Amino acid sequence: MNAPVDAPRLYSRQRTLPVDVIAEQHRELHAWLEQWGAWNASRYRPASCNSVESCYREQTAKATGDGIDPRIMVMERAVLGVPMLYRTTVRFFYVERMSPGEICRRQVIRKSGFQAWMFLSRCMVHNRLRFNGDLTAA
């Protein structure tokens, strides 16, 4: 018995979109997020208990005279203002350097929708920068 021609398929042979393509309007933002991720990766330790002072990186940097680029702190404020799901995706991609497949598995996203999800995550960071009045960073 043959299935109807227009019956839904269980496994799609649709070509997947490349996940490493960055939208033209997000190129500069992507570069700043790469810098922020590299800076944050050296400080990020999952399941670690840090002192309260580490929660206030900007004030600590000013007090100690640490040579942190102020644009990185602007990006930090913007990323922390993004809703949790999108912030987690940005952290996975830029700080922890997870593969798109692993991010999709952890965030329960279809692999075909990863590029759109990352675009939306970057848009939220961009909008947060605009909301904070720090659009000069990206």
Alpha helices in the chain, H assignment, sequence order = 27-41, 57-64, 70-80, 84-90, 100-107, 114-132
Within 13 Å and on the Cβ side, how many CA atoms surround 51? 4
pLDDT in tens, the chain (138 residues): 555 555 555 555 655 555 567 778 888 998 999 999 988 887 766 655 655 555 556 555 555 556 677 788 889 889 999 999 999 999 999 999 999 889 999 998 888 888 899 999 999 999 999 888 876 655
| Cα–Cα nearest to 95, from 20, 42, 37, 21 | 37
pTM (2 d.p.): 0.70
**Domain spans of the chain, in order of start:** 24-41+49-137
pLDDT of residue 41: 81
pLDDT of residue 25: 84
